[in-house]
């Protein structure tokens, strides 16, 4: 994923010039782009069904409703694999939820871990 893709798939102003420079630096490391691409290759090559198991620890799922890559239905489906889970959706957020709503996410996490 390149800089343009980050900017186009996020809310306006989500990524600063400094943020994008840090991403470019990370992507320029030896093997970084290959690793990123291989993760997606493996995802599609080795797709398997979810195991018949349940997560037994408290789980909180955060989801941006305007995610251009993953549907909110995917998050809702994930709930059935947990016996104690909560889904929190953010109507105006995209795939880059932690960048777009850092204060809200942090507060939810602090409350969750208390």
49 three-class SS: coil
Would you place residue 8 in the very low, low, confident or very high pLDDT band (cuts 50, 70, 90)? very high
- pTM recorded for the entire structure: 0.81
The average confidence (pLDDT) of the chain is 91
Question: Three-state SS across 9-30?
Answer: CCCCCCCCHHHHHHHHHHHCCC
- Which residue's structure tokens are 């195991």? 51
Q: Which residue has the higher pLDDT, 52 or 88?
A: 88
Residue 60 pairs with which residues in a beta bridge? 86
Distance in angstroms (rounded) separating the CA atoms of residues 73 and 92: 16
Flag whether pLDDT at 110 surpasses 90. yes
Distance in angstroms (rounded) separating the CA atoms of residues 65 and 74: 11
> Can you give the residue ranges of every domain in the chain?
1-48, 49-114
What confidence tens digit (pLDDT) does each residue in 57-83 have? 999 999 999 999 999 999 999 999 999
Mean pLDDT confidence for 19-37: 93
Q: Provide the pLDDT for residue 40.
A: 80
Q: Where are the beta strands (DSSP E) in 1-114?
A: 59-64, 85-90
Find, among 90, 74, 91, 100, the residue nearest to 6 by Cα: 100
């Amino acid at each position: 994923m390149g800089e343009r893709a980050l900017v186009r798939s996020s809310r306006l102003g989500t990524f600063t010039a400094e943020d994008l420079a840090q991403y470019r630096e990370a992507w320029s490391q030896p093997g970084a782009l290959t690793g990123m691409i291989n993760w997606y290759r493996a995802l599609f090559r080795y797709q398997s069904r979810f195991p018949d198991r349940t997560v037994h620890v408290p789980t909180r799922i955060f989801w941006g409703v305007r995610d251009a890559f993953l549907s909110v239905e995917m998050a809702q489906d994930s709930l059935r694999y947990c016996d104690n889970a909560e889904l929190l959706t953010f109507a105006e957020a995209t795939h880059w939820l932690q960048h777009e709503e850092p204060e809200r996410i942090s507060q939810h996490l602090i409350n969750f871990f208390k």
